[in-house]
């Protein structure tokens, strides 16, 4: 039996398909999808059936391994060319999360190290499993570091969803809460609903409630009031890409939360793995922002349309939080602080040292 059978993204027992928990059906229904074709995989990512930057990376790695088994090629070069085509197609499903392209590039690099197709397939299998296992370890490490930033009884504001559904085990922004709960701590979480796709309402509340963590759902525009009331001691959010200067892209509405937190003197932390750090991206201005279908605003989740059909909509999936608003960026290698141009580079150096077997240091 596959070791990740209980996970929401995993290979089928025979390794010829990817099985995902369809997050668009939560919290009302628990439905799994079996992905065998490139189009099914593309749609699953683009339509948010699988979402969360780390989970997308895990899924993409499994996807490429499954597609590699379907390639009919006579030479290694022909095989690699067709594999690159499949990776390019999958990478186009969502442009903002760096984990997607990073996982696919890692798989391509792995295949290129082998000299025959059979060995390429074996290496691809090992690599997609390694990507998943590394994410599990990453979530645990981030949760440990994040837990040092909160104390028993704290009120914590979250935006979007960065729990196990978005990753593998504990999650990133929600990881410290689950870990703290295991250790007997109690927190009160205020979960932004996160318009327009309601990931906070549908997914964060679902995960926290199931774990027995005290959670209150609020509309996005209520965050200022709960902060003013003194109910929030810290804000924890995830991220989809981190620029070299510490600017971070996360679900639309995150930058507004950071501005409010700054006004009320509340620490604002971004929690995410080093796989989301893109040192080639100098600032947040260089991060591509995904634009999504207008119907997500006008009619999705409504029994009837909530706006006239002819109304134009602006529907960016993400915004960028300026590094000056961020108290710290929590990675699996520690908590990065300003100046981020230095601390993020140090974190990446530690990652490369660890991967090359030279050990792991703390920031």
Residues belonging to the chain: 363
**What does pTM read for this prediction?**
0.88
3-state secondary structure of 175: helix
Q: Are 175 and 163 in contact (CB under 8 A)?
A: yes
Q: What is the pLDDT along the chain (363 residues), one digit of tens a residue?
A: 233 334 799 999 999 999 999 999 999 999 999 999 999 999 999 999 999 889 999 999 999 999 999 998 889 999 999 999 999 999 999 987 788 999 999 999 999 999 999 999 999 999 999 999 999 999 999 999 999 999 999 999 999 999 999 998 899 999 999 999 999 999 999 999 999 999 999 999 999 999 999 999 999 999 999 999 999 999 999 999 999 999 999 999 999 999 999 999 999 999 999 989 999 999 999 999 999 999 999 998 888 999 999 999 999 999 999 999 999 999 999 999 999 999 999 999 999 888 777 543 334
Four-CA torsion 142, 6, 27, 211, nearest 10 degrees: -50
Sheet of 248-251: strands edge to edge?
A: 277-278, 241-243, 248-251, 318-321
CA–CA distance, 1 with 12 (Å, rounded to integer):
9
Task: Please give the Cα distance from 352 to 357 (Å, whole number).
Answer: 9
User: Can you tell me the distance from the alpha carbon of 100 to that of 116, in angstroms, rounded to the nearest whole number?
Assistant: 26
Which part of the chain is CATH 1.20.120.420? 9-139
Closest CA to 146 of 275, 269, 55, 322: 269
Q: Which of 5, 119, 11 is nearest to 61 (CA)?
A: 11
Tell me the Cα Rg of the chain: 20
The verdict on whether 240 is a catalytic residue reads yes
pLDDT of residue 358: 52
Residue 6: per-residue pLDDT: 45
Catalytic position from the list 135, 240, 278, 319: 240
Fold of 9-139: 1.20.120
Architecture of domain 151-355: 3-Layer(aba) Sandwich (3.40)
CATH code 3.40.50.10470 region(s) in the chain: 151-355
Sign of CA dihedral 200, 236, 176, 230: negative
């Amino acid at each position: 039996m596959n070791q990740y059978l209980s996970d929401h993204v995993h290979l089928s027992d025979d390794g010829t398909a990817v099985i995902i928990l369809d997050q668009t059906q939560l919290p009302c229904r628990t439905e799994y999808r079996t992905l065998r074709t490139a189009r099914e995989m593309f749609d699953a990512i683009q339509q948010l059936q699988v979402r969360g930057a780390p989970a997308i990376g895990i899924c993409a790695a499994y996807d490429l391994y499954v597609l590699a088994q379907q390639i009919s090629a006579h030479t290694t070069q022909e095989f690699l060319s067709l594999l690159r085509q499949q990776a390019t197609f999958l990478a186009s499903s969502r442009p903002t999360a760096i984990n997607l392209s990073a996982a696919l590039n890692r798989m391509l690099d792995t295949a290129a190290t082998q000299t025959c197709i059979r060995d390429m397939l074996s290496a691809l299998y090992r690599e997609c499993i390694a990507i998943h296992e590394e994410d599990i370890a990453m979530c645990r490490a981030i949760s440990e570091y994040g837990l040092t930033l909160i104390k028993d009884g704290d009120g914590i504001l979250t935006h979007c969803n960065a729990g196990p559904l978005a990753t593998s085990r504990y999650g990133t922004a929600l990881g410290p809460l689950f870990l703290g709960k295991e250790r007997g701590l109690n927190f009160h979480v205020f979960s932004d609903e996160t318009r327009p796709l309601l990931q906070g309402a549908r997914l964060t509340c679902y995960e926290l409630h199931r774990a027995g963590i005290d959670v209150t759902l609020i509309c996005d525009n209520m965050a200022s009031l709960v902060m003013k009331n003194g109910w929030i001691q810290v804000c924890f959010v995830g991220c989809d890409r981190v620029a070299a200067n510490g600017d971070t892209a996360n679900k639309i509405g995150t930058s507004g939360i950071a501005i409010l937190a700054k006004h009320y003197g509340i620490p604002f932390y971004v929690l995410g793995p080093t796989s989301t750090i893109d040192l080639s991206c100098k600032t947040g201005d260089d991060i591509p922002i995904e634009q999504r279908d207008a119907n997500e605003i006008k009619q999705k989740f409504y029994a009837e349309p909530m706006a006239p059909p002819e109304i134009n909509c602006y529907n960016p999936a993400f915004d960028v939080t300026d590094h000056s608003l961020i108290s710290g960026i929590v990675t699996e290698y520690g908590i990065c602080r300003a100046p981020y141009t230095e601390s993020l580079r140090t974190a990446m150096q530690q990652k490369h040292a660890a991967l090359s077997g030279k050990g792991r240091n703390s920031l």
